[in-house]
Amino acid sequence: MSLLGRLMGRSGKTSVPGWAALEQPWREAEFCVVDLEATGMDLRHDDIVSYGAVLVRSGRIVARSCLYGLVKPTRPVSEGALTVHALTSAELVDAPPLSQCAEALSEMMRGRALVAHAAWVERAFLNRAFKTRDLRLD
């Protein structure tokens, strides 16, 4: 099957990250380490307010690949979330919308294995972010 075929799911949506080499030794693979902050922990309703990502290639962090950005949320930042990430609504008012940020993240993740501390949390928020771009996580 072609790489494009492996990247496409049954739904016809492009998969992200679309890591085709699942049998590949980890030191030969590329990884994308992602961390997100949000307005709260409601995985169905809260919004991403910041994202960070970096590539790992040949078992080493690629420092020049660092990606960080703020996201303008559609709902207020909860008090609990504010104590964790300290990003206020005033700091986020001029940030770009999630649609612009999702593009940058999906491009960085494409073809790489996703690494995250609480992957189920990042996965839930990323799936919602990518849904509007007709993408899905592998």
> Residue 77 in contact with residue 89, Cβ under 8 Å?
yes
Round to whole Å and give the CA distance between 43 and 63. 30
pTM over 0.85? The answer is no
Radius of gyration of the chain (CA): 15
Identify the band that residue 36 occupies on the pLDDT scale cut at 50, 70 and 90: very high
Q: What is the pLDDT of residues 47-90, one digit of tens each?
A: 999 999 999 999 999 999 999 999 999 998 888 887 889 898 88
The Cα–Cα gap between 66 and 53 comes to 6
